[in-house]
Amino acid sequence: MKALVYHGPKKVSVDNVADPKIEKHTDVLLKLTTTNICGSDLHMYEGRTNVEKGKILGHENLGEVVEVGDAVDTVKVGDKVVLPFNIGCGFCANCERGLSGYCLTCADSSVMPGMAGAAYGFAGMGPYSGGQAQFVRVPYADYNCLQLPPDADEKETDYVMLSDIFPTGWHATRLANLEPGQSIVIYGSGPVGLMAAMSARIQGAAQIFVVDDIEERLALADKIGATPIHTKKGNIGDQIREATGGWGADCGAECVGYQCTNGRGKEIPNLTMNALVDAVKATGQIGVIGVFIPQDPKSEDELAKKGQIAFDFGKFWFKGQKMGTGQCNVKAYNRRLRDLIHQDKANPSLIISHELSLEEAPDAYMHFDNRDKGWTKVVLHPNAA
């Protein structure tokens, strides 16, 4: 089959590789009809992770089941399903509690002592191949396949966002403990920040502020019903306080991660975290779904090399704030978010800028990584004729 393979920093190509096989009785094989490129893929693409050469990337996967292991009960050949980017077992202590992003059974503990969680085509998340390919192996298929309704084909590019960015944006608002009628400040208007804004709107936020320096992404935030704030237009904390009676936003979401920049391309790894501590009110909660990693040897920042940031902990403590972090537990939300799409209450496909073939993926990686004008979210159709 054809698959998008990582060969080193900024080197990916579409190669002929061996087809995946059913390895365990609980597996199925999926023929991908849609798979996305994600901001998380870019950390790997840029060589800013320890992902191994030869890895097939791709963790935002939707397709048709073509083969079923003999212990799989509910999933049948021909079913159209979307996969959470996390791979869970469904029966470990964490999956049982809804923490499917931290599965103990599927984790690769050689990565870090105490490491939990697994994903397709992802650095440090186990040996699983990604879905930017014609086929992918799905472990524990009864647990990991979310069945799609009869409008699956018509709304395919909405449903594919259930694999990651829609639940992840939603998770950011839950980690922030957003309540109806409250205000939220979201750092980052990439796909994930935009999904956090859409989630906040659906949950009845009174004010949604989205901060970034890319005009066209801010324009999408505006379209979703948020107030866009350009990083270059004055002090963000002051603007948020002015708009919220002087106190700051009720809660905040970090949707940028460790490669956040100062707007002139220089990475300042503590910028968004400290900006959120400033812009969120005393006692407010901050949801951090932007990725931070245990080591970043290629960073120019001495602390960041060791996975650390200079965090305004004194201000955070003094304001009595709280914080939630980590990978999204997609399974905790994807069924209900699917039903919001089915009932026309959510349309996450609105952020898509490009629908391409798998062959076009290397070029798409380059443009998306450069944050080139017009490249907001790329979806690929690996088996399109």
* Closest distance to ligand NAD from the beta carbon of 248 (Å): 17
Is there binding between residue 308 and Zn ion (CB under 5 A)?
no
Minimum Å gap between C-beta 249 and ligand NAD is 14
Residue 43 CB, nearest distance to ligand NAD (Å)?
6
- Among the residue ranges 101-109, 179-187, 221-229, 275-283, the one whose residues contact Zn ion (CB under 5 A): 101-109
Helix extents (H) in the chain: 39-45, 93-96, 141-144, 156-159, 165-175, 191-202, 215-224, 236-243, 271-279, 302-305, 313-318, 334-342, 361-369
The candidate with the shortest Cα–Cα distance to 85, out of 193, 171, 190, is 171
Tell me which of 34, 40, 86, 349 binds Zn ion, using CB under 5 A.
40
- Residues with Cβ within 8 Å of residue 333, at least 6 apart in sequence: 167, 170, 171
Using CB under 5 A as the binding rule, whether residue 352 contacts Zn ion is answered as no
Q: Is 38 in the site for Zn ion (CB under 5 A)?
A: yes
Query: Of 36-44, 72-80, 171-179, 205-213, which segment contacts Zn ion by CB under 5 A?
Result: 36-44
User: Which of 14, 32, 95, 378 touches Zn ion (CB under 5 A)?
Assistant: 95
How far apart CA 210 and CA 197 sit, in angstroms, is 7
Q: Does 166 bind Zn ion (CB under 5 A)?
A: no
Per the CB < 8 A criterion, the answer to whether 60 and 132 are in contact is: no
Distant-in-sequence contacts of 117-121, Cβ < 8 A, 24+ apart:
117/86, 117/327, 118/86, 118/87, 118/88, 119/59, 119/85, 119/86, 119/87, 119/327, 120/58, 120/59, 120/61, 120/83, 120/85, 120/87, 121/41, 121/55, 121/56, 121/57, 121/58, 121/59
Residue nearest to ligand NAD (CB): 190
- At closest approach, how far in Å is the CB of 112 from ligand NAD? 17
User: If residue 379 lies in a helix (H) or strand (E), which one and from where to where?
Assistant: strand 378-381
Chain residues in the site for ligand NAD (CB under 6 A): 38-40, 43, 164, 168, 187-193, 211-214, 217, 231, 255-257, 260-261, 271-272, 289-291, 327-328
Nearest to 133 by CA among 2, 229, 232, 287: 2
Q: Which is nearer to ligand NAD, 31 or 201 (CB)?
A: 201
Q: Binding segment for Zn ion among 3-11, 80-88, 242-250, 254-262 (CB under 5 A)? A: 80-88
Backbone CA torsion sign across 3, 334, 162, 251: negative
C-beta of 247 vs 375, nearer to ligand NAD: 375
Candidates 95-103, 145-153, 252-260, 328-336; binding stretch for Zn ion (CB under 5 A): 95-103
Compute the least distance from the CB of residue 60 to Zn ion, in Å. Answer: 5
| Cβ at position 150, least distance to Zn ion in Å | 26
Nearer to ligand NAD, 63 or 290 (CB): 290
